[in-house]
Structure 1
Amino acid sequence: MTAATTGPSPLAPAWLEYPEDPNALAPQLWASGVQRNDDGQIAVQGLGVSQLARDHGTPLLVLDEDDFRGRARAFRDAFDEAFADLCGGVDVYYAGKSFLCTAAARWVAEEGLRLDTASGGELAAALRAGVEPAHIGLHGNNKSDAEMRRALQAGVGRIVVDSLDELDRLTELAAEAGAVAPVMLRLTPGVHAHTHEFIATAHEDQKFGLSMAGGLASQAGQAVARALAAESVDLRGLHCHIGSQIFEAEGFGVAAEKLLGFLAEIAAEHGVALEELDLGGGHGIAYTPADAPRTPADIATTLAGVVRAACTKLGIRCPRISIEPGRAISGPAGFTLYEAGVRKTVTVDGADGTTHPRRYVSVDGGMSDNPRPVLYEADYSVALASRTSASGAVLSRVVGKHCESGDLVVKDAYLPEDVGRGDLLAVPATGAYCHSLSSNYNMLTRPAVVAVRDGRARVIIRRETEDDLFARETGL
């Protein structure tokens, strides 16, 4: 049998440093209430993972509710302060696609945020949670008639229109209903975020938004003219979203300057000063110790400076600004708890012709509860959660139990050499886009979601059962 070797491995990626203490937790990866307790277990607000596993099973998505709420407040307060003298504050829309259930919808509403939805189902969750309809936005590049009718009937505060085709259809539906549709136009400013190709959403060759190329003669310019001429449309303003998991400030600044310039062109051509400008979300979080996310205060101050300078240069009044953080609120608030099973060590050929060991540790979940590694080649971190270890660390790959070779949970990590069957492992920063993207692949049931507040855990989404798997089948 191949033996695992402690110490740095030539197979490790350049960003992955060998840990001096494999039991240490990098604080930027975890919710504020997470730390090791006196028994060496990872605990959230003092509640140990062994107790969580006994009470709720694994895999388990654990959310620190206080951390989630605190991050929501941080965006609200930082942007209100930075933009107070420009436009009286900022409307912060939580991007529900990152993680949404009725409990989370209530949290953001209670913390003074609004809610961005991207489908009829997300809209239904917001309404069922009791979110004020005027504080809800509806996104989507291919909204159905039923979704647009529901939004109009509910009285949502904004419908973000994605194309000329959709604008024409919404105009008709609103007229039929005797309503006036509150519209934001989603534009593509041509800003390329430094991110993975599949989640960079501001370049021209993609499904989202109206092109600005050509100024007022562009698709965006045509949409403005049509919306202003339509009696059943109230054109509120412009919207853009330049990508996801972005750490640099420059892209947001360039996008803001472009859209403010376009607002100035609209005012000059049509004599109308549109009242709102949404600069989207996409702010990055730490998935590995190599990531260095910016604070909400830093993001807000930087962006306010760009907007202030652009408005002064253009001689226009600053519109009401809105933003849409999602991952930056929900992501670090959550971690996924797994139980380890099979482990093995294999020999891998290095680039120089030498061979080196790699440890594989299988867990009781995988791509059905977190498909991001296989979809986006996303990197995550992992920690031994149920105890500490005096063993040295070995290069490890944490994999799921699905019948797929690409079923990775954590591609590269250093774990204690003695990690084995029955140990609990915790993967941080899974509060965003894990539950939302989860599936029943291989007919696995989806995990429960528990929220911890004041040291107490409560189930906010129950674990699926086998009965749930067969509930839609008609042949039984």
Structure 2
Amino acid sequence: MRFTGTMKVNEKGHLEIGGVDTVDLAREFGTPLYILDEAEFRKNCREYYHSFTEKRPDSLAIYAGKTLLTTAICRLVDEEGLGLDVVSGGELYTALKANFPMHKVFFHGNNKSPEEIKLGVEAGVGRFVVDNLYELYLLNDIAHAQKTRQAILLRISPGIEAHTHEYIKTGQIDSKFGFPIETGQAIDAVIRALELENIELKGFHCHIGSQIFELDSFAHTVEVMTEFMAEVYKNTGFMTQELDLGGGLGIYYTAGDNPPAVDALAEVIFNTLENQCQKLGLKVPRVVVEPGRSIAGPAGSTLYTIGAIKDIPGIRTYVAVDGGMGDNPRPALYQAKYEAIVANKANAKPVKLVSIAGKCCESGDMLIWDIELAEIKPGDLLLISNTGAYNYTMSMNYNRLPRPAMVLVGGGRAELIVRRETYDDLLRHDLIPVHLKNRKVAQIY
């Protein structure tokens, strides 16, 4: 397994993160356990902050909250100078409770409810990223009722299919997100937005997908978007002030993944943008980017305890852990791949090919197929790396499994930032109707 961040093997032969022994973490907090490396998370935030603001001081990197969001995460993101991208009332409420500066919040989503829009307008979010005409007019009405003028970006579908998994492509024409350029709906949305009294159009947003390694995809996106900006200026006289290019930069999960550096991404975006604006006679707009996976992904790991080991001679050895698709549904959803290590035997050489199974009652609950690990036995600890993105936020209670705790580690300390769910938590919203409360147990015939 490739080590990331502050990972290292200590004198006991155990894996440690942030100066904390993972064996001690399991003993104190239990497993499964999400572990977040504070130093790595902060370093990744700073790379975006410096790579973009040093090239153009008015640029803004906003962290994509859907990747991993808690009140503690909001505090880290704010301290590192980034803004925040939220996609629901729940994410916005989390930011509010963490006292995140609302002027640096961008509110996304393809079907915001009237209640969510009202919450965002009342909170004073910096930008609404408007996805459709229904939302545009609804937002205008709510802003009018609140006696305010709401700044927005229009989400545009640039017609670009990035090389990534089918489920995480978002920039193509056939997508639930945004106004397509090719159909004429994008320019129509611009015209309508400019007519509304309580809407202040600032510019445009696009996002072509996630886990992208080819920087040419981002350069091509800039080219398409600046050509659209020129079309808008020609037809309406509106000069784009802000261009939000979304996120999508890939990270390392397994051998063969070669993500480019953040600075290289910034270089490609700014060079292409400046050349295009000069060629098309446009003012260079403020650039906004929305990293998520590339900040949280490498900073997160998940620690499990190994239970049953089932060897099927000539077929496969299944190693079951005390978690699975409940805390990481990504392998089941879109065949995501991960690396792992026996954390309490971090110095030991891999000797056996096994597959890591979860404990859910689903044959598809497999975390890793075919990985070489050190000699293992029940009670050993397995750590899967690079799980910071879309694990906790997509976790669930399938089979009534409580969701894991999360700890922030750094400087030799570990602090809870999410408590482990209990069985009582699982029942917290259950209700028994009155007509069932006093009913006797049914007789079985």
What is the TM-score with the length of structure 1 in the denominator?
0.89
- Specify the alignment match of 2:194 in structure 1: 228
Q: Is the 8 A contact 2:241 2:285 kept in 1?
A: yes
Kindly report which structure 2 residues correspond to 1:255-404, keeping only aligned pairs within 5 A, or say none: 255-347=221-313, 356-388=314-346, 390=348, 392-404=350-362
Q: Is the 8 A contact 1:183 1:233 kept in 2?
A: yes
Aligned AA (2:17): V
Match of 1:258, SS state, is: helix
Structure 1 position 274, deviation (Å):
2.0
Distance 1:259 1:282 in 2: 16
Q: Is the 8 A contact 2:349 2:373 kept in 1?
A: no
Q: Determine which of 186, 202, 205 is the counterpart of 2:171.
A: 202
Structure 1 position 392, deviation (Å):
4.8
- Specify the alignment match of 1:469 in structure 2: 426
- CA separation of 1:148/1:285 partners in 2, compared to 1, >3 Å: closer, same or farther? same
Bigger mean CA offset, 372-381 vs 162-171: 162-171
Kindly report which structure 2 residues correspond to 1:21-420, keeping only aligned pairs within 5 A, or say none: 25-27=1-3, 30=4, 32-82=5-55, 84=56, 88-214=57-183, 218-347=184-313, 356-388=314-346, 390=348, 392-416=350-374, 418-420=375-377
Distance 1:228 1:126 in 2: 30
Structure 1 position 144, deviation (Å):
0.1
Aligned AA (1:46): G
Per-residue deviation, residues 6-52 of structure 1 (Å, max 9, x unmatched): xxxxxxxxxxxxxxxxxxx413xx2x111111111110122111100
Q: Is the 8 A contact 1:380 1:411 kept in 2?
A: no
- CA separation of 1:390/1:471 partners in 2, compared to 1, >3 Å: closer, same or farther? closer
Distance 2:420 2:281 in 1: 56
Q: Determine which of 407, 419, 428 is the counterpart of 2:385.
A: 428
Distance 2:54 2:279 in 1: 22
Distance 1:312 1:109 in 2: 34
Per-residue deviation, residues 353-372 of structure 1 (Å, max 9, x unmatched): xxx54221100000000000
Distance 1:454 1:246 in 2: 32
- CA separation of 1:140/1:388 partners in 2, compared to 1, >3 Å: closer, same or farther? closer
Structure 1 position 455, deviation (Å):
1.1
- Specify the alignment match of 1:18 in structure 2: none
Q: Is the 8 A contact 2:18 2:38 kept in 1?
A: no
- Specify the alignment match of 2:417 in structure 1: 460
Aligned AA (2:31): T
Q: Is the 8 A contact 1:275 1:319 kept in 2?
A: yes
Match of 2:202, SS state, is: strand
Bigger mean CA offset, 323-332 vs 164-173: 164-173
Structure 1 position 283, deviation (Å):
0.8
Distance 2:349 2:99 in 1: 51
Structure 1 position 346, deviation (Å):
2.3
Verify: 1:447 aligned to 2:404, yes or no: yes
Structure 1 position 291, deviation (Å):
0.9
Question: Please, which runs of 5 or more residues in structure 1 have no aligned partner?
Answer: 1-24, 348-355
Distance 2:347 2:315 in 1: 20
Q: Is the 8 A contact 1:201 1:242 kept in 2?
A: yes
Q: Is the 8 A contact 1:96 1:116 kept in 2?
A: yes
RCO higher in structure (CA 8 A, sep ≥6): 1
Distance 2:188 2:43 in 1: 41
Structure 1 position 390, deviation (Å):
4.8
The count of aligned residue pairs is: 433
Q: Is the 8 A contact 2:156 2:178 kept in 1?
A: yes
Aligned AA (2:361): C
Distance 2:309 2:289 in 1: 44
Per-residue deviation, residues 180-227 of structure 1 (Å, max 9, x unmatched): 11110000001101111111011121211111014xxx1111110111
Match of 2:28, SS state, is: helix
Bigger mean CA offset, 73-82 vs 97-106: 73-82
Aligned AA (1:333): A
Bigger mean CA offset, 106-115 vs 197-206: 197-206
Structure 1 position 289, deviation (Å):
2.3
Q: Is the 8 A contact 1:448 1:461 kept in 2?
A: yes
Aligned AA (2:168): I
- Specify the alignment match of 2:442 in structure 1: none
Runs of 4+ displaced beyond 4 Å: 389-392
Distance 1:198 1:391 in 2: 36
Bigger mean CA offset, 123-132 vs 289-298: 289-298
- CA separation of 1:434/1:250 partners in 2, compared to 1, >3 Å: closer, same or farther? same
Match of 2:63, SS state, is: strand
Q: Is the 8 A contact 2:67 2:389 kept in 1?
A: yes
Distance 1:263 1:237 in 2: 9
Per-residue deviation, residues 225-280 of structure 1 (Å, max 9, x unmatched): 11111110000110000001111111111111111111112122222212100000
What is the TM-score with the length of structure 2 in the denominator?
0.95
Distance 2:243 2:137 in 1: 22
Aligned AA (2:238): V
Distance 1:186 1:440 in 2: 33
